[in-house]
Structure 1
Amino acid sequence: MYIAQKRPDFTGTVDQIRAYQQISSLLKRNYCVYCLFQENDSIFLVEGEEVVRRGMESIYAKKTGPLYFAMLKSYLFKRYPLSTSLHSFPEIRRTVKHIMQEVRFDIIHIQSNMVHNFPDIDSWTEPVVVDYMDAISLSLERRYRWTSQLVEKTAMRGGLGRVRKYQSYLKGCTANGIVSSEADRNHLAPVTIEKLDVIPNYVDDSLFLTDIHIPKKTAVVFAGPLNQPEYADAAIRLVKDIFPALKLAFPGLECWIAGSDLSAEVKKLARVEGVVLIEEPEAAHKHVWEAAAYVCPLRFGYGQKTSILEAAALGCPIILSHIANEGIEFTSGKEVLLADTDEQFISKTKLMLSDRIKRLLMANQARSFVRTFFSEKRIIDQLVHVYTKVEKQVECNERERA
């Protein structure tokens, strides 16, 4: 049984996409998967096939009623992060208890922002895997160091305290955990290193079917979830601090910014000559495929960046920051070019734009790297291995108690 923050969806947020990928891949291997999630003040239990088909039929549905008090209690009194408090559903605890009395599951896979709803999780007889998904505290620490605005610093310091408090709560759980990148695991090492396995997100196999030898358009592109602060900051930095110098060197150059849920500040970028905003999700991959270079000047953030992996799979040459590369570990000069300062991004992007052979060679090598280390088969093999390991640990513990 998969307990998710929100309904899994391949067009949704990072946690929704991760859940959708894992569920759909397990179904392909003939595993029986059920998914429990909360939506519109109701709790739903649906079959995995229904998740993949994006259907609405459920096995079980129950109205929870208003959840404001539970959320406020979690945020104001327990002082958990807002991202966790928004997923406070007391009724889901009774629902899970009822379901587990009726059916035994081989594995309970639960996303980390849902764990606080189950203070009895350590007493469950079913094996439990907690999906930490990301190391939010790492991003907040970096953003706190980067910003010079007093109000933002104060907010970051408060948010960081809340995240660390919740991580301490998770530390007390005996459940095994998975996380999306080695960088995240290293950051969370003080929390529970011996129980964390790395299970990345994978790249859809269909992206590798595109022809990377097509003539590229005179454009640089940046794509990703622009509703997240680190992506919005990177888009603004690219347009205001990097693109003008590139435009001087290549007068016909365009800058494509692809993403949905754009903030007002990001939308203003369209006023800059040569900048095009792409808000339709289905058009993002097309523009990444056609662009001469994917430029990713992230200054803060954490974990594995799926949009970068997708750019590599689509054959778009990549220039990115060391922070953006942490969860992937490309080799600079082989699969990608690494840069951190504006001057480095400008010079390395110029180099990529002016050398077609270099673009093609690096694009091929990046694509091969992603196909090797972030394919669906490899990642789901790793996930199933974790499930098997956790099951054996529980069986061993039960024998010792007996």
Structure 2
Amino acid sequence: MVRSGIESIYMKKTGPLCFAMLKSYLFKRYPFSAARHSFPEIRRTLKHMMQEVRFDIIHIQSNMVHNFPDIDRWLEAVVVDYMDAISLSLERRYRWTNQLMEKAAVRGELGRARKYESYLKECATNGIVPSETDRSHLAPVTIEKLDVVPNYVDDSLFSTDIHNPKKEAIVFTGPLHEPEYVDAAIRLVKNIFPALKLSFPELECWIAGSNPSAEVRKLALLEGITLIEEQENVRKHVLKAAACVYPLRFGYGQKISVLEAAALGCPIVLSHIANEGIEFTSGKEVLLADTDEQFIFKTRQMLSNRIRRQFMAHQAQSFVCTFFSEKQVIDQLVSVYDKAAKQREYYEKNKHEEKSGIWNL
């Protein structure tokens, strides 16, 4: 919420939420991404706050909207924040998987996600998405006005010296419990790394990220593989690695882990899926690959040429600083807020004039 600057004005812990989540998922048939953000208490809390304060803007995440059935009647301007186009990821995962049970589960969740996106259209007229890809996917089915406001990278990451010595290692980073990252980590370790090891006998492979799944933990038992979980250690290993490799096969949205790797000055080899919403140019800021053979070839190229690595790392760092720095993104967000507030003001003014006209008659 925005009220003459940024200020945290109310924080409260909620009680057990299992019942609310199950009710939202089983009976209201919301997608799991929304159902797990069901907080009955937040509706009463917000109603109390709005009685005391008139806000300029209410910025709400899309997976929280179902907590507020009266959102379309609020006096304040509302901006719904789509962190990502969830249905797009589910569509890709459905096409990618060959497991019948997984296919059935994903199909059911996809139906719920599409229904929820249509429901959001009835709740608000202003929304933001992180990329043009998300907007083109969501525009036909959801909120009328979608503006692109990308994820931003902490400015402190750009101070890295890309000329620092690198260790002979490749690194993969991300939330290691998410299906697309689990698949990519397994693919890197089993399909790509062994071939690279033949060319670079001392090469190490680091898998770095939070909440690793059981499948990812098993990878750390293999020779040459190291699992890193602590966030500070993740960044330290990205700084040391000769290259970041992102062989994602499905998924959606801007990958903040890719943006951070670029900001930290690590050379990058990634798939078109991992590049989606960022739009690096292959051969300039990064090397793009999709098949296992392409990843092996492109990563060999990157590891074999230190000067090229440094050049591309510098180009990628500059690109991210230009389009994804904190100031750049905040300016875009404030512009969206300003537009939404003016639209709401115009609507209220017309509504008042219509009522005045009726009374004059």
Q: TM-score, normalised by structure 1?
A: 0.85
The within-5 A match list for 1:211-290 is 211-290=161-240
Q: Is the Cα contact below 8 Å between 1:199 and 1:382 reproduced in 2?
A: yes
**Structure 2 CA distance, aligned partners of 1:250 and 1:68?**
50
Residue 113 of structure 1 corresponds to which residue in structure 2? 63
Shift of 1:99: 1.2
Match of 1:205 among 149, 155, 169: 155
Deviations 1:187-211 (A, max 9, x none): 1111236411111111111111111
Residue 31 of structure 1 corresponds to which residue in structure 2? 5
Residue 337 of structure 1 corresponds to which residue in structure 2? 287
Q: Greater CA deviation, 206-215 or 241-250?
A: 206-215
Residue 22 of structure 1 corresponds to which residue in structure 2? none
**Structure 2 CA distance, aligned partners of 1:352 and 1:32?**
43
Deviations 1:172-192 (A, max 9, x none): 123311111221111111123
The within-5 A match list for 1:1-400 is 1=1, 31-34=5-8, 45-46=10-11, 61=12, 66-192=16-142, 194-400=144-350
**Structure 1 CA distance, aligned partners of 2:193 and 2:74?**
54
Instruction: Give the percent of matched residue pairs that are identical in Structure 1 and Structure 2.
Output: 75
**Structure 1 CA distance, aligned partners of 2:246 and 2:14?**
42
Q: Greater CA deviation, 328-337 or 273-282?
A: 273-282
The letter of the residue matching 2:65 is V
**Structure 1 CA distance, aligned partners of 2:312 and 2:42?**
49
Question: Post-superposition, which runs of at least 4 consecutive aligned residues in structure 1 deviate over 4 A?
Answer: 63-66
Deviations 1:322-358 (A, max 9, x none): 0110110001111000000000000000011101111
Q: Is the Cα contact below 8 Å between 2:125 and 2:143 reproduced in 1?
A: no
Shift of 1:78: 1.5
Q: Greater CA deviation, 71-80 or 114-123?
A: 71-80
Deviations 1:343-401 (A, max 9, x none): 00000000111011111111110011001000110000001111110010011111111
2:141 match: secondary structure: helix
Shift of 1:165: 1.3
Shift of 1:68: 3.9
2:320 match: secondary structure: helix
Q: Greater CA deviation, 158-167 or 67-76?
A: 67-76
Shift of 1:130: 0.7
Aligned residues: 352
Q: Is the Cα contact below 8 Å between 2:29 and 2:112 reproduced in 1?
A: yes
Q: Greater CA deviation, 209-218 or 345-354?
A: 209-218
Shift of 1:90: 2.6
**Structure 2 CA distance, aligned partners of 1:143 and 1:351?**
30
**Structure 2 CA distance, aligned partners of 1:69 and 1:282?**
35
The letter of the residue matching 2:165 is P
Give the CA RMSD over aligned residues: 1.6
2:220 match: secondary structure: helix
Q: Which has the larger radius of gyration?
A: 2
**Structure 2 CA distance, aligned partners of 1:196 and 1:164?**
17
Q: Greater CA deviation, 159-168 or 183-192?
A: 183-192
Q: Greater CA deviation, 90-99 or 222-231?
A: 90-99
- Structure scoring higher RCO (CA < 8 A, sep ≥ 6) equals 2
Shift of 1:266: 0.4
**Structure 1 CA distance, aligned partners of 2:16 and 2:177?**
26
Q: Is the Cα contact below 8 Å between 1:185 and 1:193 reproduced in 2?
A: no
Q: TM-score, normalised by structure 2?
A: 0.94
